[in-house]
Amino acid sequence: MLDQNTFDLRRYIQGNGQSMGVWLALIVMIAFGAMRYENFAGAYNISSFLNYNSMFIAIALGMCFVIMTGGIDLSVGSVVAFTSVCVAYLSPYGIQVALPGGILAGMAIGSINAFFVIAMRIPPFIATLATMLGAKGGALVISGRQTISVDWGSNFTKFGMNNVGGLLPWSIIVVAILAVALWIVLEKTSIGRTVEAIGGGEDATKMMGLPVNRAKAFVYILSGGCAGLAGVILASGFGAGQPLEGVGWELSAIASVVVGGTLLTGGLGSVPATVAGALLLGLVFNILNFENGRGVISFSAYWQMVIRGLFLFVVILLQSRVSRAGSKQGA
């Protein structure tokens, strides 16, 4: 038997029994793409894929913590749009100003969510729906309903367009650092244990004397900050703040978290599996684009959404079967 203090990599990657399905599906999809498409494993596709999906990984990480408390954050897509416009205005000062500025702007909206949920006791669905509309309106107001071009003379666009070693984008490196930091917070700190305890039962957590309100404020501010980071990546990678972007991104984040095995009722979750879930959903679109390029079958954007939904259902069904099998073995 392993000592209590022994590092168990398998446990941390899986998070819980339901997370096993996402790793299996991710491996199968990567192997399928590499064998079927000539340039699938090429440096350009890998770099482009990681750069674009770094935004979805970022918002999924924040959403994971919120859902682990039994809450929800519907505002993340609008926060991405709002912060992308904000950092476009900050871009003349370089990434050293725009990056923290965008994250702080997102955290400010996350603080509003936390105030509504904790102090005003408004259900998270309603509170974050209100801030979703407010952030979207704010993005349209400050942008004049137009995309805001960034300053190409500063170093701002290098963050979203340049790679390290010709393969890894700076955006995915920053998001990977964020994921490792959040993994440590969840697994090794008291605030992480409190987040998981809240999802298991908020009243019981309060009776144990744990700082429930502080933990809930942390997750909503974190979610806003992660969406702010995604907004910086969006503006830097596409060269403009885009007030109309981010529609439906909250659903992608929720899907990534659920595919990763995090329970919507709270209490259980895994940072690595959430990252895998976001990559898996992005991989579905990537493979469909390659399939369209072969000219044999053409999937429109609408059919791609249908296929992605069906794929999500299959993965969740696989998770459920794996989880039940693990429960029977443990019985």
pLDDT of residue 306: 79
Q: In this structure, what DSSP letter does residue 149 have?
A: E
Mean pLDDT score of the chain, rounded to an integer?
87
Q: Is the pLDDT confidence value at 323 over 50? A: yes
Q: What is the pLDDT of residue 13?
A: 46
Count the neighbouring beta carbons within 10 Å of the beta carbon of residue 313. 10
**Residue type present at position 47:** S
Cα angle value 168/233/271 (rounded, 5°): 70
pLDDT tens, position by position, 50-65: 999 999 999 999 999 9
Beta bridge partners of 148: 241
Nearest to 322 by CA among 68, 22, 29, 12: 22
Q: Name the band, by pLDDT with cuts 50, 70 and 90, for residue 235.
A: very high
Whose tokens are 């000539």? That residue is: 38
Enter the pTM of the model.
Answer: 0.88
> What confidence tier does 319 reach under pLDDT thresholds 50, 70, 90?
low
Grade residue 318 by pLDDT with cuts at 50, 70 and 90: low
* Largest separation between any pair of C-alpha atoms in the chain: 63
Helices (H), 115-248: 124-143, 156-161, 170-188, 190-200, 202-207, 212-238
Lowest-confidence segment of 97-106, 171-180, 278-287, 316-325 by average pLDDT: 316-325
Contacts for 260 with CB less than 8 Å, ≥ 6 apart: 15, 19, 22, 60, 64, 269, 270, 273, 274, 275, 276, 277, 278
Write out pLDDT tens, residues 199-218.
Answer: 888 888 888 888 999 999 99
Q: Report whether pLDDT(132) > 60.
A: yes
**Which comes out higher in pLDDT, residue 209 or 101?**
101
Q: 112: how many CB neighbours lie within 10 A of its CB?
A: 20
In this prediction, residue 142 carries a pLDDT of: 95
What mean pLDDT comes out for the span 248-254? 89
pLDDT given at position 303: 72
Confidence of residue 299 (pLDDT cuts 50, 70, 90): low
Please say if the pLDDT value at position 22 is more than 90: no
Task: Let me know: does 57 contact 227? Beta carbons within 8 Å.
Answer: no
Residue 225: pLDDT over 90: yes
Strand partners, 163: 169
Q: CB-based burial of residue 10 (10 Å sphere; 0-12 exposed, 13-18 middle, 19+ buried)?
A: exposed
Lowest mean pLDDT among 2-11, 91-100, 168-177, 218-227: 2-11
Distance CA 247, CA 59 (A): 13
CA distance 159 to 237: 7
Compute the distance between CA of residue 195 and CA of residue 271 in angstroms, rounded to an integer: 13
Q: Is the pLDDT of residue 19 over 70?
A: no
Dihedral of alpha carbons 181, 196, 281, 125, sign: negative
Residue entry with tokens 């590092």: 7
